[in-house]
């Protein structure tokens, strides 16, 4: 009998140990591409012993979490832009995070006062121009509607979140009517129908298809270190728009804790880590993004592009116009 009890106790202890180890994990749903976040996640695993499981997707994570409901395995959701970040909040798929550590590492204008969302990195919506023009250009986003750019502009789909964010910021500054007129002007100046990603637009400039394009800042750095794409980057200047007016539009990547996070403690550990100087330094070094932690400098590559004035409008004020931006893009049939 004693032997049976001993065996039973050993099994119970073994099971408890296995459950404890199984609990040391965190599940991420990510809109960010693998190569952009894997260095941070690997570092987090090594530092904490917490296993990181990731589901990568280009779209549809909000719908997936809604379908899964309270049985969703998602602990943390990482977004690549403000549009999807605020969609998660609006759909009530997140929960507030009470962390003094995160709030100390991320400035107030880059996080939710109710602690439901946090920025992780910043990127500028730059205007790239061909070096055929011999020098960088002093340009505003509004200038893209000027007739002098007739047939000279390339861009990805107007309905992509990066462009929706820009249009939302234009509405915030200039109103709907003026922004719609601007969109019609930009559409009339396109060298081709919107297509491809941000890097494809720089390639098009290199090939002489167009002279200017819209693109996020970190793509410039990524092209510079890519043997096949360096020639594209070498063919353009990276320009920071609206330096004499409201400043350049800055979008963000972000994070939230999922509403039914089954590994809440580890989710908090991960979120605090991603806001730390350690992780933010990896973002800056490897991804050439602008860190949100003010104690972390940009990489040498990014620093070489020069300082710029960013649009000081709060992220929440810009995101509040995203539905209007989508409607205007539909009304002008921007992608047709």
**Under a CB-based contact definition with an 8 Å cutoff, are residues 333 and 194 in contact?**
no
Average pLDDT rounded to a whole number, residues 92-101: 97
Give the whole-angstrom CA distance, residue 55 versus residue 31: 9
Q: For residue 94, count CB atoms less than 10 angstroms from its CB and return exposed for 0-12, middle for 13-18, buried for 19 or more.
A: buried
Give the whole-angstrom CA distance, residue 192 versus residue 189: 9
Buried b (16+ CB within 10 A) or exposed e, 10-45: eeeeeeeeeeeeeeebbbbbbbbeeebbeebbeebe
Average pLDDT rounded to a whole number, residues 99-104: 97
The whole-chain average pLDDT of the chain stands at 93
HEC assignment per residue over the chain: CHHHHHHHHHHHHHHHHHHHHHHCEEEEEECCCHHHHHHHHHHHHHHHCCEEEEEECCCCHHHHHHHHHHHCCCCEEEECCHHHHHHHHHCCCEECCCCHHHHHHCCHHHECCCCCCEEEEEEEEEEEEEHHHCCCCCCCHHHHHCHHHCCCEECCCCCCHHHHHHHHHHHHHHCHHHHHHHHHHHHHCECCCCCCCHHHHHHHHHCCCCCEEEEEHHHHHHHHCCCCCHHHHHCEEEECCCCCCCCECEEEEEEEEECCCCCHHHHHHHHHHHCCHHHHHHHHHHHCCEECCCCCCCCHHHHCCCCCCECCCCHHHHHCCHHHHHHHHHHCCCCC
Categorize the per-residue pLDDT at 23 as very low, low, confident or very high, splitting at 50, 70 and 90.
Answer: low
Give the whole-angstrom CA distance, residue 52 versus residue 64: 19
Say yes or no to pLDDT of 10 above 60.
no
Say yes or no to pLDDT of 144 above 70.
yes
The pLDDT of residue 87 is 96
Give the whole-angstrom CA distance, residue 331 versus residue 186: 14
Give the whole-angstrom CA distance, residue 129 versus residue 152: 10
φ, ψ at 46 (rounded to 5°)? -65, -35
Condensed to tens digits (0 to 9), the pLDDT of residues 190-212 reads 999 999 999 999 999 999 999 99
**Under a CB-based contact definition with an 8 Å cutoff, are residues 241 and 140 in contact?**
yes
Give the whole-angstrom CA distance, residue 93 versus residue 113: 17
Beta bridge partners of 235: none
Say yes or no to pLDDT of 11 above 50.
no
Distance of CA 201 to the CA centre of its chain: 19
Say yes or no to pLDDT of 4 above 50.
no
Say yes or no to pLDDT of 21 above 50.
no
Average pLDDT rounded to a whole number, residues 55-63: 96
**Under a CB-based contact definition with an 8 Å cutoff, are residues 271 and 293 in contact?**
no
Average pLDDT rounded to a whole number, residues 78-94: 96
Say yes or no to pLDDT of 156 above 50.
yes
Categorize the per-residue pLDDT at 3 as very low, low, confident or very high, splitting at 50, 70 and 90.
Answer: very low
Give the whole-angstrom CA distance, residue 225 versus residue 213: 20
Average pLDDT rounded to a whole number, residues 59-68: 97
**Under a CB-based contact definition with an 8 Å cutoff, are residues 285 and 303 in contact?**
no
The pLDDT of residue 134 is 73
């Amino acid at each position: 009998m004693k032997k049976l009890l001993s065996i039973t106790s050993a099994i119970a202890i073994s099971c408890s140990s296995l459950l404890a180890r199984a609990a040391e994990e965190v599940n991420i749903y990510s809109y960010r591409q693998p190569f952009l976040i894997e260095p941070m996640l690997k570092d987090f695993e090594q530092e904490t012993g917490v296993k990181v499981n990731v589901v990568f997707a280009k779209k549809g994570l909000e719908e997936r979490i809604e379908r899964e409901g309270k049985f969703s395995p998602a602990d943390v959701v990482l977004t690549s832009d403000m549009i999807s970040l605020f969609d998660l909040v609006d759909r009530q798929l997140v929960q507030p995070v009470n962390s003094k550590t995160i709030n100390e590492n991320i400035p107030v204008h880059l996080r939710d006062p109710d602690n439901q969302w946090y920025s992780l990195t910043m990127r500028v919506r730059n205007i790239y121009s061909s070096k055929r023009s011999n020098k960088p250009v002093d340009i505003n986003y509004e200038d893209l509607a000027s007739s002098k750019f007739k047939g000279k502009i390339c861009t990805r789909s107007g309905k992509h979140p990066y462009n929706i964010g820009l249009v939302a910021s234009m509405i915030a500054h200039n109103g709907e009517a003026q922004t719609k007129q601007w969109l019609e002007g930009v559409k009339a100046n396109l060298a081709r129908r919107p297509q491809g990603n941000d890097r494809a637009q720089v390639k098009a400039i290199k090939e002489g298809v167009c002279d200017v394009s819209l693109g996020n800042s970190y793509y410039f750095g990524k092209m510079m270190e890519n043997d096949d794409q360096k020639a594209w980057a070498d063919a353009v200047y990276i320009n920071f728009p609206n330096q004499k007016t409201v400043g350049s539009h800055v979008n963000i990547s972000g994070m939230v804790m999922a509403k039914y996070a089954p590994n809440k403690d580890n989710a908090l550990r991960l979120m605090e880590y991603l806001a730390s100087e350690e992780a933010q330094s990896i973002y800056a070094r490897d991804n050439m993004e602008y860190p949100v932690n003010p104690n972390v400098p940009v990489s040498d590559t990014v620093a070489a592009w020069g300082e710029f004035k960013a649009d000081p409008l709060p992220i929440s004020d810009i995101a509040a116009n995203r539905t209007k931006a989508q409607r205007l893009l539909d009304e002008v049939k921007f992608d047709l």
